[in-house]
Structure 1
Amino acid sequence: MTNLLSFSAILNLVGFWDVAFALLGLFIISCLLERFTNKGPMLWPVLGIIPSVFLNVNNMYDWATVALIRAGGTFNFRGMWFGGAHGIITIDPSKLEYMLKTRFNNFPKGQYYRERFHDLLGDGIFNADDQMWKEQRRVATTEMHSSRNSVIDLQEVLLRFTFDNICTAALGVDPGCLALDLPQIPFAKAFEEATELTLFRFMVPPFVWKPMKRFEMGYEKRLKESVQIVHEFAEKAVTERRNELVRLGGLNDRSDLLARLMEYTDQNPEGQGTQKRFSNKFLASGANAVILKNQLIMMQFLQWKN
């Protein structure tokens, strides 16, 4: 009886190691095939691009630039299994023109993207699709070509590249990041942290970040706190501007995007009077979207210049 038990234990042990070595061999073969067939970043079994991202988190832009050059300007990526993260990263001008101009309607942001950014950007232009995006873009484009805008020294803007400029253009508020003592501005710090933590949602599957959000755990708790600071700042600016509009009856002396959106109204069916088109919450979300978009553009530009 003892011999039979020992023999059974040996078989179980052998079976375990067989499976372990088989899985190890499969892992190694998968890595080798991926390395020799994929010109872009390494896509690891199960984890996808996540290990490559974390290994290069301190030199992200340099790493991404080298990867794009090695891949000829375009590469595919995927995230963790069952996370739904997959797509294409490209700097090919012809592909960008195809997506942003030629067939723009075929490339909406979609639910996957909007769901992750909704806490921070709401339904602002940077997180909107279809008719809502068209409406906001039309208003923004009108303001960009408005004769009421003052001339901007582009060189000065590039030299100043700061959070102050972006907030001034979107909200008409100078947060004071360039004060002589270079103080730490809670809104600027919270906005940067909220952006980074929101992007982290793209690295992990929904069954990880959604429960963390529900129970306010880990980085999702910090994200909620940062988003609250961002929203309070933006909503305060919107409320003050709304009061100014009511008090003065117009915002002609203002040339920021918030003022133009706030003045945009529709005539009622009888043509008498006007009705408010955008809510304060909507205006705050839209302003945050513009700040984020311009911040990312300027970061990419300076990285290219360097």
Structure 2
Amino acid sequence: MAFEASLTWLLQLSFGFFFFTFTALFFILSILGFFLKLKPCCSCEICQSFLTSSWTLEYNNLCDWYSHLLSKSPTGTIHVHVLGNVITANPENVEHMLKTRFDNYPKGKPFSAILGDLLGRGIFNADGDLWRFQRKMASLELGSVSVRSYAFNIVTTEIESRLIPLLSSVADKCNNDSSGSLDLQDILRRFSFDSICRFSFGLDPGCLRLSLPISEFAAAFDLASKLSAERAITTSPMIWKLKRFFNLGSEKQLKQAIKSVHELAEEVIRHKRNNARPRSSHDDLLSHFICTTDDDIFLRDIVVSFLLAGRDTVASALTSFFWILSKNTHVVEKIREESNRVMGQETEKMVEFAQLREMHYLQAAVHESMRLFPPVQFDSKFCEEDDVLADGTFVTRGTRVTYHPYAMGRMERIWGPDCLEFKPDRWLRGGVFKQADPFKYPVFQAGRRVCLGKEMAIVEMKTVALSLIRRFDIQVAMARAPTFMPGLTATLRGGLPIVVRERKH
């Protein structure tokens, strides 16, 4: 017995020493990684402000500080040396990256590593031939009239059967108690998740039912997206990679969340394989893609990528749209006037697809909102070989190059002296909507990587916005300017509290 006790004690001591050694190694490497990544010897004003966080004395959001710096730069480009990052708000540079020298500016391995566990080989995490194959496949499907019609029907059904009944029930409470409020950001995220799951998988999570249930799939997906995004803001990739290797902290949570997402996706794919039927124009995206590959893991990665892009971006754009409308009530009235001319005054009637195309002011208002509050505030590529940008900026191989749609929407040299004002009319010519140069408005990227779901996303935004504007009076119960949480898309910290009431006619 004494021998066994001694052996147990020795094993515990050995394990303790082993754990202590690796924990110490983890912290040493983390600190080393911090200094290697940040190169704190740089004494320029921008780097020092970043390192000391002194920019927070004047700005609530990092994107606002970058917007200020970029507006003051003669070329619209800045260097954050400690991050190895060139940031630009120059449309000529954006065109250089996304079109002229497209092959020299892939997403790159650093970006792919951040999202690789969640998205695998999906289109939004791929480069080269793999990206081209998926791009071609997705273009054929998303460009078809039948698929777009199917998506529109899902959106209108979700609005009629869930979104409007939910807001009507809240409006009744607000009429009786003016202090009642609702987080519109949360509601829009639930709506978008239900819609994109039905469109992508043929799966209905039911997040927007009146009881507002907590979906395990949605919760796992949210957590996986959030923790994947947090990898990008660590001081060194070595930190999260070590945490992943030892299965510690946030990386342990991320692993579990991704496992839940992947397991459900794989279960749905197996079910569709086992219950195969002739493909129909009324099928979900998975049913269209499933005929193109026998690799179910690859198929899973593709569909999870579409879930990520289709849910968060639309919800983010709509949240910002309703926030900015609350500060510009005259725009709300003009949208209502336009819709009455096209649809008549019956507010309970759902808009038809053809009618949406006639509403140029609504189209302008949606685009103007995303000019100031793009759902993806910045996007980065990695330079493959030494290059010179259009404005003369030299970029060394391996440098991260970021174009910044949020800042670009605030550039006087691009949009004029009224660039900070919300003015939908800037998009109209003789009352007709006119698209902007995509390289000065890269909200949906531009060039060869332009978003394939752009038109579907805009139709969804317009349909939701119009349905709520015609039916309800929505008052935002938040006086402060938006502050954003770190993430893959722009998310308002604290949500968007609203008071909603049925309109009186």
Could you tell me the TM-score, scaled by structure 1's length?
A: 0.68
Q: Which residue of 1 aligns with 2:284?
A: 256
RMSD: 3.4
Q: Deviations over 1:243-300 (max 9, x none)?
A: 222xx2x222543321221122xxxxxxxxxxxx341111111111111122343255
Of 177-186 and 162-171, more deviation after overlay is shown by 162-171
Q: Deviations over 1:180-237 (max 9, x none)?
A: 1110111111111111111222223233222211111111111111111111121111
Aligned counterpart, 2:205? 175
**Counterpart for residue 164 of structure 1:** 194
Structure 2 match to 1:121: 119
Query: Would the aligned equivalents of 1:169 and 1:256 in 2 still touch at CA under 8 Å?
Result: yes
SS of 2:50 mapped into structure 1: coil
In structure 1, stretches of 5+ residues that fail to align are 1-28, 46-50, 80-84, 265-276
1:191 to 2:207 alignment = no
* Equivalent residues in 2 for 1:1-306, closer than 5 Å: 34-35=44-45, 38=46, 42-44=49-51, 60=61, 63-72=62-71, 75-77=78-80, 86-151=84-149, 152=152, 161-202=191-232, 203-245=234-276, 248=277, 250-264=278-292, 277-302=293-318, 304-305=320-321, 306=324
Q: Please say which of residues 180-189 and 235-244 is displaced more in the overlay.
A: 235-244
CA spacing shift, 1:141–1:207, aligned 2, 3 Å: same
Q: How big is each residue's C-alpha offset from its partner over 1:118-167, in whole Å with a ceiling of 9 and x where there is no partner?
A: 11010010111101101101111101122422532799599865211222
Q: Contact (CA 8 Å) 1:164, 1:174: kept in 2 or not?
A: yes
- Measure the CA separation in 1 of the matches of 2:300 and 2:107: 20
Give the whole-Å Cα distance in 1 for the aligned partners of 2:199 and 2:93: 30
Distance in 2, matches of 1:78 and 1:232, equals 41
Deviation string, structure 1 residues 72-99 (Cα, Å, up to 9, x no partner): 26544466xxxxx533444544433332
Residues 300, 120 of structure 1: alpha-carbon distance in 2 compared, 3 angstrom cutoff = same
Q: Secondary structure at the match of 2:290?
A: helix
Report the CA distance shift for 1:88/1:293 in structure 2 as closer, same or farther (over 3 A).
farther
8 Å contact kept, 1:68–1:75: no
Contact 1:139 1:260 in 2 (8 A): no
Give the 3 Å change call, closer, same or farther, for CA 96–259 of structure 1 in structure 2. farther
**Structure 2 counterpart SS, 1:148:** helix
More displaced, 63-72 or 216-225? 63-72
Cα distance in 1 for residues equivalent to 2:68 and 2:265: 39
Structure 2 stretches of 5 or more lacking a match? 1-39, 164-187, 325-505
Q: After alignment, is 229-238 or 296-305 more displaced?
A: 296-305
Measure the CA separation in 1 of the matches of 2:220 and 2:86. 29
In the aligned structure 2, how far is the partner of 1:143 from the partner of 1:93?
Answer: 30
Asked if 2 retains the 8 angstrom alpha-carbon contact of 1:187 and 1:230, the reply is: yes
Residue identity in the other structure for 2:223: E
2:200/2:307 contact within 8 Å kept: yes
Identity, % of aligned positions: 33
Find the aligned partners of 2:310 and 2:246 in 1 and give their Cα distance.
Answer: 32
Compute the displacement of 1:178 (Å): 0.9
Higher RCO (Cα < 8 Å, 6 or more apart): 2
Q: TM-score, normalised by structure 2?
A: 0.43
Distance between the aligned counterparts of 1:239 and 1:154, measured in 2?
23
Q: Residues 44 and 173 from structure 1, CA distance in 2 versus in 1: closer, same or farther, beyond 3 angstroms?
A: same
Deviation at 1:177, TM superposition (A): 1.0
CA-CA distance at 1:104 after TM superposition: 2.1
- When residues 213 and 143 of structure 1 are mapped into structure 2, their CA distance, relative to the original with a 3 A threshold, is same
Q: Cα–Cα, structure 1 residues 30 and 294, in superposed 2: closer, same or farther, change >3 Å?
A: same
Change (3 A) 1:155 1:180: closer
One-letter code aligned to 2:235? V
